[in-house]
Amino acid sequence: MSVNVEFVPDGLHGVVAEGTYLWDAAKRLGLRLPAECEGRGECDTCAVIVREGATLLSGLTEAERTRLSPERLAAGERLACQSKVERAGDLVLEPVPVTEREETAEEVKQDLRAEFREMPLQQKLATLVELEYIAASQTFKSITDVPVSYFEKGLDYVVNFGRSRARRERQARRPAEHVAGAPKSPEADKPSS
């Protein structure tokens, strides 16, 4: 028996076999979902929202319960590398936007590169100082502009800096009652199993 899978909003669709993981189904249909932890269930970059057909999928794994908040589970999110199609039928899936999940290292680098390019010189220097990178070079004495190539050398170092900032920004957008430690309403949704 086969399963009809559609990814929205792209409209990619096709048929996959039962037993296929959602990440593999996406790849088969031409959609490369991010997979920062390479499918070990240790990130949330492969998260998708199940718009239709949730009952066709395997039960939640421990990794999904750990990585996805009760609110995200209640909204129908699954980790594509952990969820397997177990029954035939129609599935409609939507990748979780990057603004609502952890960024991959490459996405963080791209953001930081773009941001750094746009900065005025003073701010570039201040950023490098903030990253404790200025001490690594004596060439600042004669520098008239900080080349992007210099920043590139520090990208791996600053990925975590960018990630924690993105996490803080995402957290700031969350409703107050969803923030960890906030008092829970008695009607708070429980994760489905």
Would you list the DSSP string of 92-147? EEEEPPGGGSPPPHHHHHHHHHHHHHHS-HHHHHHHHHHTT-GGG-SGGGG-SS--
State the CB neighbour count (10 A cutoff) for residue 86: 14
Backbone phi, then psi, for 137, in 5-degree steps? Answer: -140, 140
Does 37 interact with ligand FES (rule: CB under 6 A)? yes
Instruction: Give the residue from 57, 54, 12, 21 showing the smallest Cα distance to 40.
Output: 21
Token couple for 59: 């039960």
Does 42 interact with ligand FES (rule: CB under 6 A)? yes
Does 69 interact with ligand FES (rule: CB under 6 A)? no
Which CB atom, from 14 or from 39, has the smaller least distance to ligand FES? 39
Which CB atom, from 35 or from 60, has the smaller least distance to ligand FES? 35
Shortest Cβ distance from residue 98 to ligand FES (Å)?
14
Shortest Cβ distance from residue 60 to ligand FES (Å)?
13
Question: What is the DSSP secondary structure assignment for residue 41, as one 8-state letter?
Answer: S
| 43, 48, 50, 128: residue in contact with ligand FES (rule CB under 6 A) | 43
Shortest Cβ distance from residue 78 to ligand FES (Å)?
10
Does 111 interact with ligand FES (rule: CB under 6 A)? no
Shortest Cβ distance from residue 191 to ligand FES (Å)?
17
Helix, strand and coil content of the chain, in percent to the nearest 5, comes to: 45, 15, 40
Q: 191 with 73: CB under 8 angstroms?
A: yes
Does 25 interact with ligand FES (rule: CB under 6 A)? no
Does 36 interact with ligand FES (rule: CB under 6 A)? yes
The residue ranges that bind ligand FES (CB under 6 A) are 35-37, 39, 41-43, 45-46, 79, 81
